[in-house]
Chains A and B, each alone.
Chain A
Amino acid sequence: EVQLVESGGGSVQPGWSLRLSCAASGFTFDDYAMHWVRQAPGKGPEWVSGITWNSGTIGYADSVKGRFTISRDNAKNSLFLQMNSLRLEDTALYYCAKDGQYGSSSYELSWFDSWGQGTLVTVSS
């Protein structure tokens, strides 16, 4: 059974940084691209970032480009999101999500077939 467990969320002030982690189990981690998706309170989901199995290709939503950095450690079955220069509008539940395509060399043109339960990031002054 696929399990994705996020951690690292918290309450911070604008301009601060946070590093989110996602521990994956129940599947061969380095066979899949991975993603971060966030959901602000009362809003729909928003894709944040994606990374291929070998970190060869990475993409970001325009709203976080230049501030957030996605990375992964296949030896530890872990996905990360370094969030810098946090803004009020970054407040959301952040989900780690597994890509739906086995063995794909791209994070694009796919879907998210498993999600964690999320870690809450609150940015307020």
Chain B
Amino acid sequence: SYVLTQPPSVSVAPGKTATITCGGDHIGSKRVHWYQQKPGQAPMLVIYYDSDRPSGIPERFSGSNSGNTATLTISRVEAGDEADYYCLAWDSDGDYVFGTGTKVTVL
């Protein structure tokens, strides 16, 4: 089955940039979506179709996807961005696959 690998944790100072990767075989040929999940809450979509932002999501959130790595970038990080982040892609075997998840800590 298809595997999407993320770093377990990323730490970033307020105002700096957080970069979260999602690695998968030829992931650049797939559409990747990103979710933010805070404790006790349902996941919330922050990026879809590799780089599109749903309404209400700040421009500080951006995405890219090429080769074997998709990337979520959070610019000018704020304390409120502290959360778990998951990538998502459709696997041609007939399954949606979530990444292993990344915990973002704001220092």
Residues of A within 8 A of B (CB): 35, 44-47, 50, 59, 61-62, 95, 100, 108-118
List the 8 closest pairs (A to B, CB-CB), nearest first: A47-B96, A115-B42, A111-B33, A44-B101, A109-B90, A111-B48, A45-B98, A44-B98
* Chain B residues whose CB sits within 8 angstroms of the CB of A35 once the complex forms: 96
| A-B pair number, CB within 8 angstroms | 52
B interface, over-half SS: strand
The distance in angstroms between the C-alpha atoms of A32 and B35, with both chains bound, is 20
The residue of chain A having its C-beta at the shortest distance from the C-beta of B45 within the complex is A113
* Chain B residues whose CB sits within 8 angstroms of the CB of A45 once the complex forms: 35, 37, 43, 86, 98
Q: In the complex the two chains form, is A47's CB within 8 Å of B95's CB?
A: yes
Q: What is the size, in residues, of chain B's interface with A at 8 Å between Cβ atoms?
A: 24
The distance in angstroms between the C-alpha atoms of A111 and B44, with both chains bound, is 11
Q: List 17 A-B contacts (CB under 8 A).
A: A44-B84, A45-B35, A45-B43, A45-B98, A47-B97, A59-B94, A62-B1, A95-B43, A100-B48, A108-B90, A108-B94, A109-B31, A110-B90, A112-B45, A113-B54, A114-B45, A116-B42
The contact string, 1 if C-beta is below 8 Å from chain A, for chain B 16-39, is 000000000000000101010100
